[in-house]
Amino acid sequence: MSTPSIVATRRALIATPGKAFDLSARDTGDKSLFEDKENAETSLKKDAAVINELKDMMYAEGKRSLLVVLQGMDTSGKSGTIKGVFSDTTPLGMEVKAFKAPSSNELARDYLWRVHNAVPKKGHIGIFDRSHYEDVLVVKVRGFAPAEEIEQRYAQINAFEKHLTENGVTIVKCMLNVGYEEQGVRLAERLEEPHKLWKFNPGDLEDRKLWAQYMDAYQTAITRCSTRQAPWYVIPSDSRTRRNAMIARLVRGALEGMKLEWPASEYKPGDFDIG
Amino acid sequence: MSTPSIVATRRALIATPGKAFDLSARDTGDKSLFEDKENAETSLKKDAAVINELKDMMYAEGKRSLLVVLQGMDTSGKSGTIKGVFSDTTPLGMEVKAFKAPSSNELARDYLWRVHNAVPKKGHIGIFDRSHYEDVLVVKVRGFAPAEEIEQRYAQINAFEKHLTENGVTIVKCMLNVGYEEQGVRLAERLEEPHKLWKFNPGDLEDRKLWAQYMDAYQTAITRCSTRQAPWYVIPSDSRTRRNAMIARLVRGALEGMKLEWPASEYKPGDFDIG
């Protein structure tokens, strides 16, 4: 079994900008990129090491940054992705931001204010565990904002992301596409394993009842916000290992696409007397 | 060769609160805790894995946090420590804050304002790469503030750290004690290795010329701010591997001292119908 190329991985997972997108046609258990699980593990491990190296170069350069946006239903594996894909990545130059329900201070501003504030520094990798897309997902499904305001947000989000990419931020957006069945299994697991119990929140069951509405909202968000500069990738997420392996390919691809190099210096040996 | 216990490591490295402290008596090349380098590597590896586990439990608990303060002269290995000690630590729940020269926005407030703002969230490990101690180190040596203001700061810092510890923050303060000779070797290295060149800053040579004044300032800061609740540890740092191994022992010890457990839940299997 060979590892799929980065180009092939992108092609298989992208929601092509400007084309009709059908979330229901995406198999959450699709194994075609990594039929063999061990191959997925090997590929993940290799990519994780390369990601750490490239991150160090980006840190040294200090001019551009990478933003990885993770969205998905509860148990889809946002935390697991952070741990798995960045298992080799030292915390220097990493920023993980988990977006929770907005505080009163955040609600006092427009919904992108707190997001802009959390954009990674130059030279850093930022990971969004949930993101501004919540403002067209949970906010839409639960009716937390007027429909006409939400309707405006897709174009606002595209403009915001365009602004970021024009200012040196490479964006990788991954929708962790877990199946309804698999979510049921994972929620049950949380109730059974002592080190997972703390993650269980009865509110998750409320969202589970609204599954169809959430899928609708995802379908719309992905269709309208998969752009050339910041496309959406839809990751089959019923298998944790394969999910991590696929996302690692995308993250590595994004970093390689930046053509990073160790920064040149104006100095050379002999320029200074160290003393 | 056996690994020194955490208690023995602390005892060897601490600047005992309330006692006279002599920085010049500390051997920057001391190998007594880890005579054997391979043993240091093995110990570091084990501790790094345990640190990652305990971090996950602290994250799950979400009530307390750990703050690791790293101070030291240029090339003493602050970045290297972050990479080495936290090599196994996934970025979820980690916050690295590098303190640079304060911005005009920061200078418009008192010197602890930006520091308080960077305190790790509950459940997180925060690492300070430089810290509020710069305000009694470089600021003192370079005369960036009046002497009588600086004189007040030691007690202010102690009060601030006491406040943090009383509010659930465990503090581990490490002074990376590198020798003058070894710094010279490392600065020369930076000028010779392509992936280190970007770190070279001619300003470092200015600080090197003020070595004796810096050592004086460190001596005073450590003497006056090594407290029962937040003691200073002085880490012999001429050997990178041993430095990391010693700091890993201290970090692990601090996390173990918190008596972390997977949080209990009010729920149990069967309480819910997953559907």
Residue pLDDT, tens place only, A137-170: 999 999 999 999 999 999 999 999 999 999 999 9
How many Å lie between the alpha carbon of A230 and the closest alpha carbon of chain B?
Answer: 24
CA distances for B237 relative to A68, B24, B234, B258, angstroms: 36, 14, 9, 27
Residue B96 touches partner A, C-beta closer than 8 Å: yes
Contact between A262 and B86 using a beta-carbon 8 Å cutoff = no
Q: How many domains does chain B have?
A: 1
Give B-chain residues touching A94 at CB under 8 angstroms: 91, 94, 96
d(CA B73, CA B215): 9
* pLDDT for residue A273: 81
* pLDDT for residue B238: 98
d(CA B109, CA B204): 27
Residue A100 touches partner B, C-beta closer than 8 Å: no
**Is residue A267 a part of any domain in this protein?**
no
* pLDDT for residue A60: 94
- 3-class DSSP state of A22: coil
Q: Which residue, among B108, B125, B118, has the nearest Cα to B54 in the 3D structure? A: B125
Contact B21, B221 (CB under 8 A): no
Using CA coordinates, name the residue in chain B closest to A201: B267
**Could you say which DSSP state residue A25 is in?**
G
Residue A54 touches partner B, C-beta closer than 8 Å: no
Element (H, E) at B272: none
Mean pLDDT of the A54-80 span: 97
* pLDDT for residue A201: 85
* pLDDT for residue A256: 98
Contact B250, B6 (CB under 8 A): yes
Q: Which residues pair with A172 in a beta bridge?
A: A68
How many Å lie between the alpha carbon of B232 and the closest alpha carbon of chain A?
Answer: 23
**Is residue B122 a part of any domain in this protein?**
yes
Element (H, E) at A35: none
Using CA coordinates, name the residue in chain A closest to B268: A191
B260-273 CB burial, b ≥16 within 10 A, e <16: beeeebeeeeeeee
How many Å lie between the alpha carbon of B57 and the closest alpha carbon of chain A?
Answer: 8
Give A-chain residues touching B94 at CB under 8 angstroms: 91, 94, 96
Q: Which residues pair with A173 in a beta bridge?
A: A69, A232
**Is residue A268 a part of any domain in this protein?**
no
**Is residue B15 a part of any domain in this protein?**
yes
| pLDDT at position A250 over 80 | yes
A43-77 CB burial, b ≥16 within 10 A, e <16: bbeebbeebbebbbbbbbbeebbbbbbbbbbbbbb
Q: Which residue, among A115, A107, A119, A109, has the nearest Cα to A131 in the 3D structure? A: A115
Q: Which residues pair with B176 in a beta bridge?
A: B72, B235
Q: What percent of chain A has pLDDT over 90?
A: 88
The Cα angle at residue A82 between residues A77 and A83, in degrees rounded to 5:
95
Q: Which of residues 122-161 of B touch A (CB under 8 A)?
A: 127, 129
Q: Write the single-letter amino acid at A182.
A: E
Contact between B272 and A90 using a beta-carbon 8 Å cutoff = no
| Number of residues that this document lists for chain B | 275
Of residues A56, A91, A184, nearest to B127 (C-beta): A91
Q: For the segment B230-245, what is each residue's pLDDT rounded down to a tens digit?
A: 999 999 999 999 999 9
| DSSP track, A160-212 | HHHHHHHTTEEEEEEEEE--HHHHHHHHHHHTT-TTTGGG--HHHHHHHHTHH
Using CA coordinates, name the residue in chain B closest to A59: B198
- Its domain, for residue B189, covers 6-257
Q: For the segment A85-117, what is each residue's pLDDT rounded down to a tens digit?
A: 998 999 999 999 999 999 999 999 999 999 999
Contact B158, B222 (CB under 8 A): no
- Phi-psi category of residue B245: left, alpha or beta, with phi > 0 → left and psi -120 to 50 → alpha: alpha
Contact between A272 and B86 using a beta-carbon 8 Å cutoff = no
How many Å lie between the alpha carbon of A117 and the closest alpha carbon of chain B?
Answer: 14
Contact between B274 and A79 using a beta-carbon 8 Å cutoff = no
Residue B105 touches partner A, C-beta closer than 8 Å: no
Contact B176, B233 (CB under 8 A): no
d(CA B85, CA B45): 8
d(CA A211, CA A209): 6
d(CA A157, CA A224): 10
Q: For the segment A174-206, what is each residue's pLDDT rounded down to a tens digit?
A: 999 999 999 999 999 888 887 888 888 888 899
Burial class for A261, CB neighbours closer than 10 Å (0-12, 13-18, 19+): exposed
Q: Which of residues 164-183 of A touch B (CB under 8 A)?
A: none
**Is residue A246 a part of any domain in this protein?**
yes
**Is residue B82 a part of any domain in this protein?**
yes
* pLDDT for residue B1: 63
Of residues A96, A187, A195, nearest to B91 (C-beta): A96
* pLDDT for residue A1: 63
- In this structure, how many other beta carbons lie within 10 angstroms of the beta carbon of residue B245? 29
**Is residue A99 a part of any domain in this protein?**
yes
Residue A197 touches partner B, C-beta closer than 8 Å: yes
CATH of the domain at B34: 3.40.50.300
**Is residue B67 a part of any domain in this protein?**
yes
How many Å lie between the alpha carbon of A265 and the closest alpha carbon of chain B?
Answer: 6
Contact between B91 and A91 using a beta-carbon 8 Å cutoff = yes
How many Å lie between the alpha carbon of B20 and the closest alpha carbon of chain A?
Answer: 32
Q: What are the average pLDDT values for consecutive 10-residue runs of chain B, which has 275 residues?
A: 93 96 98 96 97 96 97 97 94 96 95 97 98 98 97 98 98 98 94 83 91 98 98 98 98 98 80 79
Look at strands B232-236 and B169-177 and give their pairing: parallel
